[in-house]
Structure 1
Amino acid sequence: MQDIRPINLTPPEYLAQITDSQKREEVTSWVGEFDFMAGNVEFLFDIYVEVFTELRISDTDDVGMQGNEYAIYVNRGHIDYCYALDESVLEAVEDPNVRNIAVLPGFVGRIAFLWSLAHEFFHGARAHNTRIDSEAEKRRHERGDLERALEYDADLCAVVYIYRYLQKRARDARAEGAIPVDLSDSTIRQVAICMLFAALRGLPDASSDAGHPARVNRLVSFVAKLATVGERDEDPIDRNLTLPETRAQAGKILECLCRCEKKYQEIHGKRNGDLFFEMEGFFKKIDMPYLDAWTSMDEEQIRLSDERASLFLAQKSDQAGGLV
């Protein structure tokens, strides 16, 4: 979200440098998602989006992206990180048919990349830079809390985008005969948390330096968001997880997240932290002061991301019906 200057390569310039033909073909399709994102957001969320003018690839090994209202800058290292992600994360999903949803090679990397791209896209689409520079906001909130609130907002918007994207991918895979039965909505939500876990888990948990909430805060919020977002846009939203079926859904998604972590530790050990330990600490001592800044935003600003379930998990986890 910080101010950045246009640098480095256009997508065609970057793609021309990839010597591995399989990787070049795969990444070409990833980068091509940018061209459809504005239309997808307008269709899925019924809002008008002023299209970003540029996508650029920054020639650096650093993992990450940056964006503003005018452009998104993707680090080459971020593309490499996503491309190297292990497809085995899908083993955490209970439904064995889910393996066939990934009919494209590099499916996990594609979704992880797409979530990161959507996160930056929503920063611009929802004018977060303008808000963070607002004198009124500076008077109302500590800058650090405001930055994290806006990161949280972009996170949750991107989570919904990925969920809707996976719904479509599942329908397409069924129509193509790649899967013998329709995937249940619960399965698609589990696939989503696996993808989001893959996107974040391999990164150092030092993201707070960039204004992001801690990794465990983000992942627990993703669980809450995926549990409460309606299967269809017109479905009522159980914002506080008051319904037994919503609580049960949250439990399944959290259990899937735990299976992802178990699989990750079997392969990588605890060299990049221990998410189980982080979750235990999170639920014992809630530390999400940026939520006050987020919930004070006006209704139009938070319409896409306003689910109270994250607050519920944070403040009432002891009543969450077996979530932990």
Structure 2
Amino acid sequence: MLLPDPDARRPMEPADFLKCIDDDERRDRYSAVLERLDPLAGVIRERFFAVDGIPDLRIIKNAPKGDTELRDIVGAVFIADGLLDWFFEIDEFTRGFIDIQYPFGKWSVAKIGAMWAYAHEVFHFVRRHALVEKHFGKSRDVRHALEFDADMCAVAVIYRFVQFKENTGDELQLKMAVLKSLFFIVRAEIDQSSIKEYEGSPTHPHTAARLWDLVCKLSMLHDTGRTNPDFVNPISIQHSLVMLDMVKDLERKYLMAKNRDFESSVIGDFLCQNSELKFTRSRHEQWDEISRLIDYFSTLPREDVDNDKSIGFIVNGLFSMPSKHSDAGV
């Protein structure tokens, strides 16, 4: 009988994936990252409606990082081991000029990177994005709005996870700790991404836009558990300015480590060129249009929305419903 090829590319349950790693140090690194994901799923269950539950997690062995995805039809999130390896590379790179041990000790950058990738894909499932696409189509603005929704929910739940873990702590310091690790993950993606135009690709916004969205979202989150979407709370404005300065400082450190000058900063250039929101306005307007439908769909059994009857929710005044401004809101 032929034995399975140990180097074959295949999806595995996390425990089985760890068992097949012969190198003890490498196995410990993977384990330290993957053990964060189940508790994170628990926070998603607590803070967001997860009517269909949380999708299963599978690790794809011997796969490039781009193979990470949600397969909605089978209810599973697939994370490529190549993506985990990339997070470790970024973590090691940052240690050359900044030591990030907070909030998760060693490999904090890699751990938050894995949590970010996992939560983003989970929220595509929990927030029923595939069903929303059935009603609104797959235009650039709709797809960008759904990516924006997954990003905002992901960073919110990571922040709440850190908040629960620490139990006490200054709001702003916790936000900065989350953003610091996420900055290097997103910044490395900007350099590697095939998306060069600030308008984004047909499916995803430019990664620099996503970074600034994270800053805005974290600024809005407060201990009340409710967001401040219009920045009427002066604390939100204060937090955004502090985190903006932190991002500028991290960008300088990143570019110096890459032997590049600050004038080459993509995220700085994007911020200047998007000062009148010419690259993000239509996506935000689309999200404003569909976000309440997403909120509503995500609370209903799948059989109640996976059919033509759900069109009636739109014409029956759904969009006049007041926003709950929960962590899911922006």
Q: Report the TM-score, using the length of structure 1 for normalisation.
A: 0.76
Structure-1 residue corresponding to 2:329:
306
Identity among equivalent positions (%) equals 20
Structure-1 residue corresponding to 2:323:
none
Structure-2 residue corresponding to 1:152:
148
Tell me if the contact between 2:116 and 2:154 (Cα under 8 Å) persists in the aligned partners: yes
Counterpart CA distance in 2 for 1:44 and 1:87 is: 33
Residues 157 and 60 from structure 1, CA distance in 2 versus in 1: closer, same or farther, beyond 3 angstroms?
A: same
SS at match of 2:11: coil
What is the 5 A alignment of 1:232-243?
232-233=224-225, 235=226, 237-243=227-233
Structure-2 residue corresponding to 1:52:
55
The question of 1:125 aligning with 2:126 is answered yes
Counterpart CA distance in 2 for 1:119 and 1:220 is: 16
Counterpart CA distance in 1 for 2:150 and 2:104 is: 28
Counterpart CA distance in 2 for 1:159 and 1:91 is: 26
Residues 87 and 250 from structure 1, CA distance in 2 versus in 1: closer, same or farther, beyond 3 angstroms?
A: farther
Structure-1 residue corresponding to 2:314:
none
Counterpart CA distance in 1 for 2:52 and 2:181 is: 25
- In the TM superposition, what whole-angstrom CA distance separates every residue of 1:12-70 from its partner, at most 9, and x where no partner exists? 34323434322312312322334334322122346545131342325223346200331
The question of 1:167 aligning with 2:163 is answered yes
SS at match of 2:64: coil
Residues 35 and 246 from structure 1, CA distance in 2 versus in 1: closer, same or farther, beyond 3 angstroms?
A: closer
Structure-2 residue corresponding to 1:192:
178
Deviation at 1:190, TM superposition (A): 0.9
SS at match of 1:57: strand
Structure-1 residue corresponding to 2:112:
111
Letter in structure 2 aligned against 1:77: G
Counterpart CA distance in 1 for 2:52 and 2:120 is: 14
Tell me if the contact between 1:38 and 1:49 (Cα under 8 Å) persists in the aligned partners: no
- In the TM superposition, what whole-angstrom CA distance separates every residue of 1:53-91 from its partner, at most 9, and x where no partner exists? 342325223346200331111112100011122378699
Tell me if the contact between 1:63 and 1:81 (Cα under 8 Å) persists in the aligned partners: no
The question of 1:62 aligning with 2:47 is answered no
The question of 1:40 aligning with 2:43 is answered yes
Structure-2 residue corresponding to 1:212:
204
Deviation at 1:187, TM superposition (A): 0.7
Which of 230, 233, 236 pairs up with 1:246? 236
Structure 1 gap ranges (5+)? 1-5, 172-181, 308-324
Deviation at 1:128, TM superposition (A): 0.9
Deviation at 1:278, TM superposition (A): 2.4
- In the TM superposition, what whole-angstrom CA distance separates every residue of 1:160-200 from its partner, at most 9, and x where no partner exists? 011112213333xxxxxxxxxx6411111111211221221
SS at match of 1:263: helix
Counterpart CA distance in 2 for 1:8 and 1:99 is: 31
Structure-2 residue corresponding to 1:230:
222
CA RMSD, 1 decimal: 3.0
Residues 33 and 243 from structure 1, CA distance in 2 versus in 1: closer, same or farther, beyond 3 angstroms?
A: closer
Residues 196 and 137 from structure 1, CA distance in 2 versus in 1: closer, same or farther, beyond 3 angstroms?
A: same
Letter in structure 2 aligned against 1:206: S
Residues 157 and 64 from structure 1, CA distance in 2 versus in 1: closer, same or farther, beyond 3 angstroms?
A: farther
* More displaced stretch, 28-37 vs 68-77: 28-37
Letter in structure 1 aligned against 2:117: S
* More displaced stretch, 267-276 vs 16-25: 267-276
Residues 65 and 85 from structure 1, CA distance in 2 versus in 1: closer, same or farther, beyond 3 angstroms?
A: same
Deviation at 1:238, TM superposition (A): 2.6
The question of 1:77 aligning with 2:82 is answered yes
Structure-2 residue corresponding to 1:322:
none
Residues 38 and 113 from structure 1, CA distance in 2 versus in 1: closer, same or farther, beyond 3 angstroms?
A: closer
Bigger Cα Rg:
2
Q: Report the TM-score, using the length of structure 2 for normalisation.
A: 0.75
Which of 23, 29, 32 pairs up with 1:29? 32
Tell me if the contact between 1:90 and 1:194 (Cα under 8 Å) persists in the aligned partners: no
Counterpart CA distance in 1 for 2:154 and 2:161 is: 10
Structure-1 residue corresponding to 2:251:
261
